[in-house]
Structure 1
């Protein structure tokens, strides 16, 4: 029996949508039927580039959901642009991939979670680092007990770019923690469990003279988890231009793990008389992995690695970190 083919639409034809479109084509099982963007030309360019002009083009996502039958929609909108697109997709029975952060407030995020659950559609949030071979290996070791008690995660995210105008505006992006470093906060949750409290320092030190730059460009956050583990996550948008440095170190009872990235890590086993070093080396396509995981969930009626509910939980963490940085208070995440 031939494998089922899936009809796919993309909402938001910006930069990150290209990475997802390329991954979709790599599956060999997905056909583009619609592209939507408020700038019609961008949607038309995606249509030509990825569907040889055979898909339909829209500037209104409501019309897209009304007039095109889709199995999956990829929502690649900037944070401030989210409204009711998830609810409309879910009501139409369309499975959802959505880029992070899923919203800028918990009320919107919780509506998204509710819509997916009530309409029984599968969802995947774009935290691609969860799919990395090194991350998956360490996650299994923690869950099996092989790693022992998780203790400390130290992580840093460093870049130096003005990014898009909307990105610099904290009211539209949520700030660097919420829009960008959220990937690192999600890895902390994925490996260490649910956070119970967070404290953050943040400021805009390097871009005070840049018009409309209201996002923080330095931050340092301390997180306590229900497992007893702690994490420190530091970030800046004032480091080396043209470089994107995102690394993590994890200490558990039995291992010290140095992640180069989500696919590659060195693990030193520390509970032996003689230290043993293990390595995980991989070049897995994380964007393709996200898509294949979503297809598997649809076909098996299973769960994705990062469903909408997980996206909401990580959003709650980064919003709490931002609130702490803005108020100077420790924010409790219990209850």
Structure 2
């Protein structure tokens, strides 16, 4: 079977924490090219994960001239997601782009247009779909156990965990703060569980309150208030065409003890589910209410904790499988587009104080 030659553009935290290790585990993958504006990062990655003849680049455009490369993983700041993905597909490469799909919905739509024009596969890195609890709950909702899901919450709340490295605090390069960074994961997960991608209207609020504080008790050390140009929390109220309602909550810094990230709560006509304390399914049966806590591990034998594939390993493996077998990727670009459209609408509503309506 064919061996895929993969190139990675952007050799920072997400590439090292997710893409490199997961790709390295696959026998039918060779990492043959590494690119970063900091060429030292690319060189280190190449030596650790690349083939013996792997190439290192500072300019992604030069990398894309290599006709032997089959796939490109885009792991750069949000501002360049669309530009690089489009160039890669036009150069004949399949693309996995990290989340969010793009800084704007217009850019995301262009990415889809180019994917369709070129016939190249495109997927977005929403790895939380591949967690054990997500995979289980997806089967529950697809089987119809919850009935019609008409109310949901998308949770992305951190008490004090503001990323202080890279360009996370730079609105120009990222497009926003916690909403576009972690809120995007929670919203993708919620829409996927509901299998509902038809928004009707959005109301949103964003706040820049705690980001003004100095010497914060932050997980990654105090931030510089002068460089904190994005929101520190954002909230959305989303109404879908069928009347279903989603409340999206996101923060990097919020005075709250109700902390959850990349989780959702679902309420349907037959039952409900949430990821707040493990995976819980609730409902009514024989005139009584019930709550089921799903055991997701494989323990039960002394000294054996079971074996399970990590979410990122599963994500990358299924993506590679879709390329080798010419099937649809799990995360479809049009689904990711709707996430970007809703996030953009929340930001727009927060600026204008008005609801944003979809055609």
Q: TM-score with structure 2 length normalisation? A: 0.85
Deviation at 1:84, TM superposition (A): 2.9
Q: Deviations over 1:236-261 (max 9, x none)?
A: 222489x9731322111222212148
Query: What is residue 317 of structure 1 aligned with on the other side?
Result: 342
Contact 1:47 1:54 in 2 (8 A): no
1:289/1:202 Cα in 2 relative to 1: closer, same or farther (>3 Å)?
same
1:96–1:124 contact (8 Å) kept in structure 2: yes
In 1, the alpha carbon distance for the partners of 2:104 and 2:166 equals 21
Q: Is the 8 A contact 1:256 1:270 kept in 2?
A: no
Q: What's 2:231 paired with? A: 216
Match of 1:329 in 2: 354
Moved more, 193-202 or 10-19: 193-202
Q: Corresponding residue for 1:253?
A: 269
The partner residue of 1:9 within 7, 10, 18 is 7
Separation in structure 1 between the aligned mates of residue 286 and residue 204 of structure 2, nearest angstrom? 36
Q: Is the 8 A contact 1:200 1:325 kept in 2?
A: yes
After superposition, the Cα gap between the structure-2 partners of 1:79 and 1:64, relative to the gap in structure 1 and judged at 3 Å, is same
Asked if residue 188 in structure 1 is aligned to residue 187 in structure 2, the reply is no
Task: Give runs of ≥4 in structure 1 deviating > 6 Å.
Answer: none
1:219-298 equivalences in 2 (<5 Å): 219-239=234-254, 245-246=260-261, 247-260=263-276, 264-274=278-288, 275=290, 277=292, 279-282=294-297, 284-298=309-323
Residues 196-207 of structure 1 correspond to what in structure 2 (within 5 A)?
196-207=200-211
Q: Which runs of 5+ in 1 are unaligned?
A: none
Who is 1:151 aligned against? 150
Partner of 2:300: none
Q: Report the counterpart of residue 164 of structure 2 in structure 1.
A: 163
Q: Secondary structure at the match of 1:77?
A: coil
Q: Is residue 10–residue 75 contact of structure 1 (8 Å, CA) maintained in 2?
A: yes
* Contact in 1 for aligned 2:266/2:274 (Cα 8 Å): yes
What CA distance in whole angstroms lies between the structure 1 residues aligned with 2:329 and 2:60?
A: 25
Alpha-carbon deviation of 1:166? 1.8
Match of 2:302 in 1: none
Is the Cα–Cα contact under 8 Å of residues 145 and 271 in structure 2 kept in the other structure?
A: no
The total of aligned residue pairs comes to 329
Deviation at 1:54, TM superposition (A): 3.1
Moved more, 296-305 or 159-168: 159-168
* Separation (CA, whole Å) in 1 of partners of 2:156 and 2:169: 17
In the TM superposition, what whole-angstrom CA distance separates every residue of 1:214-245 from its partner, at most 9, and x where no partner exists? 2111222111122322111222222489x973
Aligned to 1:91: 90
CA contact (8 A) 1:116 1:308 kept: no
The residue matched to 1:156 in structure 2 has which SS? strand
Shift of 1:145: 2.5
Q: TM-score, normalised by structure 1?
A: 0.90
Distance of aligned partners of 1:222 and 1:47 in 2 relative to their CA distance in 1, 3 Å threshold: same
Residue 321 to residue 272, structure 1, CA distance change in 2 (3 Å): farther
Residue aligning to 2:79? 80
> Partner of 1:84: helix, strand, or coil?
helix
Higher deviation after alignment, 267-276 or 302-311: 267-276
- In structure 2, what is the Cα distance between the partners aligned to 1:196 and 1:317? 10
Which residue, out of 178, 181, 187, partners 1:179?
Answer: 181
Query: What CA distance in whole angstroms lies between the structure 2 residues aligned with 1:270 and 1:75?
Result: 46
